[in-house]
Structure 1
Amino acid sequence: MRIFLFFVFPAILWAQTYEITKMGVASKKPSSDVFMKYKPMADYLSRRVYSGLVKGDVKLRIFKSEKELRKAILQKEIYFARLTPQSYIMLKERMPGLGLVAGELLNHQFQNKGILIVQKANFVRNYSHFKSRPFAFGPKTSALLDIVPKSILASKGLNMSDIKPKYLSDTEKIKHFVEVGRVIGGVIPVQALSDDEQDRFRIFSEYSAPGNVWVITKNVFLSTREKIQAELLNTLEPHVSRVLQIDGFVKVKNRDLDEFRSDMRKAMAFHRK
């Protein structure tokens, strides 16, 4: 009996202190490309976070859509995930305990900058001139190129029936459509307009939208949650950031997204006729 307990008890103790953090990301790109992008981060966190008394691993899982990822989080299949700000806001309403770990920095900013452009010599001088004309948005549900622009148009008294929306995933194509007159205007990231293009386009308005966020559920030990946040905010290795194609992470609080919550409501109003 003593020999039996000698072998079983360590196994029980090991099971109690080994933790699997299930990490999820969503992308429509080929799974192999997404895996190569996020696996270094999962491996890095596995090494750094689980180096003390609590042993464990960070396991990466890839989803084809944010909807699938949100469902997996709700069903406790994923504990740590990268989300668009709107997905976080929607999940937070159903999971009050969902924690914000960090926000991604792009061009060293969490608030990404966007611009609404028209042709340089275009007659457009106010928002009413967009009525009954084609207008180019970016990918549907993009915070920067869809949700916030629609909230701006809604605040100016326009809705979906007033314009003819075109959704384009390629920023260069949006600029081309504006330049040749296929659309009256379009929205692009501010960094997508080079100095050489200033004589071809006019910036009609500027705005901002929050970047993507990383969240974590209470299914992960509190000590692990704190370690993951510390690693992202303070000591993430530069090569991991390069692979992720971001400039790092910043601490974000729930209230930092209050303005975007308002933008989401206005964007919903934009779709109402």
Structure 2
Amino acid sequence: MNKISAKLLGFVVKAQKHASHWACVTVTVIIATMATSATAEINLTFGSYAADKPTYTVKMYRPFLQYLAQEMTKILGEQVNIKMRITKEYETSIDQLANGEVDFSRFGPASYITVFEREPKIQIIAIESNKGSKRFKGAIAVHADSPIQSLSELKNKSFAFGDQLSTIGRYLAQSHLLDAGISSKELSGYDYLGRHDRVGAAVAAGRFTAGALKESTLSKLIRSGVPIRAMHEFDNVTKPWLAAAGMDPDVLAAIREVMLELKDAELLGDIAEDGFLEGSDADYDIIRQAMKHSKMF
């Protein structure tokens, strides 16, 4: 690498604003330890969207991506650098993976299905493990003091959804509401608030009677004193990590090897504290069914 034998670990966070709102955060992760035999660099960009606060999302990914780049450097014998691109909108992140603007991504199931329909050559690297399972919970929450105990009681009430492409925040929630005999016509009103934490805050503030959000965000909000509770829970499939079409097979294999072998809960943090499992497209068939069903909402 010319006269440079090592690079300091650096994290550069740059908020790019379009018009008058936050649009994207870019974090550059450069690993200090290089393979001594390295003769070239492999530069990768990881992309995802902020389902919670962008600052929290960036902080959540840092340790894992640092470790991933370090271990891939050892496997491939070339310096691996990983940049992070977190977008505000689900659709923007989907576009970036479909168009090859990022090399690999972490998406929710519905976003995976959406991007796969656009670019069938996208591959699943691995999917997250939840205590050895490929399933975890989503929830429909109400205010802590609400007397509502069932979905059917939400008739003529208001509802907060997440992003319009969110698995839990839209598709699964709408599918379960339909199963309870509630479509958009039976609600007094509804809106899409984008992020899970915004849904929880809106329900707690009384702006909506109920809302859909992931269990981990719900638990975090409750621990911080937000007055909400889970009224109904449902299964979701854990998140897939995806490789863009055309990724070098050796690079893909290295990412997969590191992910499947990693068991360190501290490194995995809030991403996948139980590690990763091998996954396939068929794992997400139940989400495809929910997405189809939600069209009746």
- The higher-RCO structure (CA 8 Å, 6+ apart) is 1
Is 1:91 aligned to 2:115, yes or no?
A: yes
Is 1:147 aligned to 2:174, yes or no?
A: no
Match of 2:90 in 1: 66
Give 1:236 shift.
5.0
Is 1:161 aligned to 2:188, yes or no?
A: no
TM-score (norm 1): 0.72
Structure 1: any 5+ residue segments left out of the alignment?
A: 1-13, 195-199
TM-score (norm 2): 0.67
Look up the equivalent residue of 2:260 and give its one-letter code.
Answer: L
| Structure 1 vs Structure 2 CA RMSD | 3.7
Match of 1:250 in 2: 277
| Corresponding residue to 2:64 among 10, 27, 41 | 41
Please list, as runs of the form range in 1=range in 2, the aligned pairs for 1:48-63 lying within 5 A after superposition: 48-52=71-75, 54-63=77-86
Deviations 1:174-194 (A, max 9, x none): 6646xx8x7555545557578
| Corresponding residue to 2:154 among 130, 145, 148 | 130
Compared CA separation, residues 138 and 48, structure 1 to 2 (3 A)? same
Compared CA separation, residues 42 and 185, structure 1 to 2 (3 A)? closer
Please list, as runs of the form range in 1=range in 2, the aligned pairs for 1:1-273 lying within 5 A after superposition: 18-27=41-50, 33-52=56-75, 54-64=77-87, 65-106=89-130, 109-116=133-140, 122=147, 127=152, 129-138=153-162, 140-163=164-187, 164-165=189-190, 169-170=197-198, 173=201, 176=204, 185-187=210-212, 189=214, 192=218, 203=231, 205-242=232-269, 244=271, 246-270=273-297
CA contact 1:103–1:212 (8 Å) conserved in 2: yes
Compared CA separation, residues 126 and 28, structure 1 to 2 (3 A)? closer
Give 1:54 shift.
4.6
Give 1:261 shift.
0.7
Give 1:257 shift.
0.4
Q: Quick check: which one's helix share is greater?
A: 1
Deviations 1:97-150 (A, max 9, x none): 1111122345664322234466899477673x4332223445554322432110
Structure 1 window deviating more from structure 2 (78-87 vs 31-40): it is 31-40
Q: In structure 1, what is the Cα distance between the partners aligned to 2:268 and 2:135? A: 18
Structure 1 window deviating more from structure 2 (115-124 vs 132-141): it is 115-124
Structure 2: any 5+ residue segments left out of the alignment?
A: 1-37, 223-227
Structure 1 window deviating more from structure 2 (220-229 vs 102-111): it is 102-111
Aligned length: 248
Q: In structure 2, what is the Cα distance between the partners aligned to 1:40 and 1:131? A: 44
Compared CA separation, residues 53 and 134, structure 1 to 2 (3 A)? closer
Identity of counterpart residues, as a percentage?
A: 19
Q: Tell me which structure has the larger Cα radius of gyration.
A: 1
